[in-house]
């Protein structure tokens, strides 16, 4: 692994709807909040420093949501980085309410989404949100009603591009009848592949796929991963990120961390190249686990 060049540029670029090009290794800002994704961070200065370091390392895609904190993650991003450097894309989301730590209740109703977009614009100090993602379909709100609201907000100039999260292929197809969809964010890693078919669908349709939990929240391990990591003098985390980058050219990992050291390690993973054999060995891990 080339440890000298620690830059998100090394990961190459991915297009969002043919309109914006970003480096294919982003940063997830959910972990900057307090425990239970609730309240401000314990170490506020440290959280601001992580965000600034991400930009120094050429990260130009930051994922957040109004529900992280709630509000704390978006506020920290603005405090650390406003006025934003040219080309920085902040992708936020709406569709949850937060009654307390570790509690998430659906609300993707038109009135909630409209208020959520207004709130995010204010906290992020933006006139327009570059990428707005429906955080999750709401089981009691027609999916089309949520998407039509986002499409209207796009027509009003408050949102530039629209993404989805926690969706099936059917959701994506229904959404695309209403408005162009530039990204899909679902849980995914080499060991967690329920959404393989959605990754393939996104690749066929030029939609960026943003894997959340790309590191299994720090617990990705296993003999195969550790052996491959050792061979590259890399960490298991870096190897898991390298596998994602290799999985598809539309893959846009957003590893989350509150630590500068971990952030630097994660960005350095862009220069880790797995051999075909290593890639295939990791690809086969879920089947291996299932057969035990």
Ligand X SMILES: NC(=O)c1ccc[n+]([C@@H]2O[C@H](COP(=O)([O-])OP(=O)(O)OC[C@H]3O[C@@H](n4cnc5c(N)ncnc54)[C@H](OP(=O)(O)O)[C@@H]3O)[C@@H](O)[C@H]2O)c1
Contacts with ligand X, residue ranges (CB under 6 A): 28-31, 63, 165-166, 185, 212-218, 237, 254-259, 262, 265-266
Contact 250, 228 (CB under 8 A): no
Which DSSP symbol is given to 11?
G
In this structure, what token pair is assigned to residue 217?
Answer: 């929240």
DSSP 3-state of 107: coil
Closest distance to ligand X from the beta carbon of 190 (Å): 12
Catalytic residue list contains 68: yes
Q: Which is nearer to ligand X, 16 or 29 (CB)?
A: 29
Q: Is 128 helix (H, G, I), strand (E, B) or coil?
A: coil
Give 4's DSSP letter: S
Query: What is the closest distance, in whole angstroms, from the C-beta atom of residue 163 to ligand X in the complex?
Result: 10
Q: How far is the CB of 191 from ligand X (least distance, A)?
A: 11
**Runs of H (alpha helix) within 185-271:** 196-205, 223-231, 236-247, 260-268
d(CA 213, CA 202): 18
Of 84 and 96, the one with the shorter C-beta distance to ligand X is: 96
Integer CA distances (angstroms), 64 to 49, 146, 255, 279, in order: 16, 19, 12, 30
Shortest reach from residue 65's CB to ligand X, in Å:
7
SS3 call for 209: strand
Place of tokens 């992580």: 50
Q: CA-to-CA distance for 117 and 119, rounded, in angstroms?
A: 5
Nearest CB to ligand X, comparing residues 212 and 243: 212
**CB of residue 261 to ligand X, shortest distance in Å:** 8
Distance between CA atoms of residues 174 and 176, nearest Å: 6
Distance CA 102, CA 120 (A): 21
Name residue, tokens 């929240």: 217
Single out the catalytic residue among 27, 68, 84, 188: 68
- Percent helix, percent strand, percent coil in the chain, to nearest 5: 40, 20, 40
Q: CA 143 to CA 211: how far, in whole Å? A: 22
**Min separation Cβ 291 and ligand X, Å:** 25
Catalytic residues: 68
């Amino acid at each position: 692994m080339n440890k000298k060049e620690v830059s998100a540029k090394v990961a190459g670029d991915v297009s969002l709807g043919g309109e914006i090009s970003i480096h294919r290794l982003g940063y997830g800002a959910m972990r900057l909040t307090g425990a239970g994704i609730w309240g401000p961070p314990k170490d506020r200065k440290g959280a601001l420093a992580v965000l600034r370091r991400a930009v120094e390392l050429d990260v130009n895609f930051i994922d957040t949501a109004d529900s992280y904190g709630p509000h704390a993650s978006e506020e920290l991003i603005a405090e650390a980085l406003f006025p934003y450097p040219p080309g920085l894309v902040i992708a936020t989301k709406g569709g949850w309410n937060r009654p307390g730590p570790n509690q998430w209740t659906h609300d993707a109703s038109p009135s909630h989404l409209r208020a959520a977009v207004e709130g995010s614009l204010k906290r992020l100090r933006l006139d327009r949100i570059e990428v707005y993602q429906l955080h999750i379909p709401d089981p009691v709100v027609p999916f089309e009603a949520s998407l039509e609201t986002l499409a209207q907000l796009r027509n009003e100039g408050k949102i530039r591009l629209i993404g989805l999260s926690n969706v099936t292929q059917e959701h994506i197809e229904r959404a695309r009848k209403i408005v162009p969809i530039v990204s899909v964010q679902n849980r995914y890693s080499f060991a967690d592949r329920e959404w393989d078919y959605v990754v393939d669908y996104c690749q066929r349709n030029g939609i960026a796929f943003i894997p959340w939990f790309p590191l299994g929240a720090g617990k990705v391990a296993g003999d195969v991963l550790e052996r491959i990591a050792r061979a590259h003098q890399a960490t298991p985390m870096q190897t898991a990120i390298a596998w994602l980058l290799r999985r598809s050219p539309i893959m846009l990992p957003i590893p989350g961390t509150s630590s500068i050291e971990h952030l630097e390690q994660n960005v350095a993973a862009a220069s880790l190249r797995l051999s075909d054999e290593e890639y295939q060995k990791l690809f086969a891990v879920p089947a291996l686990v299932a057969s035990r």
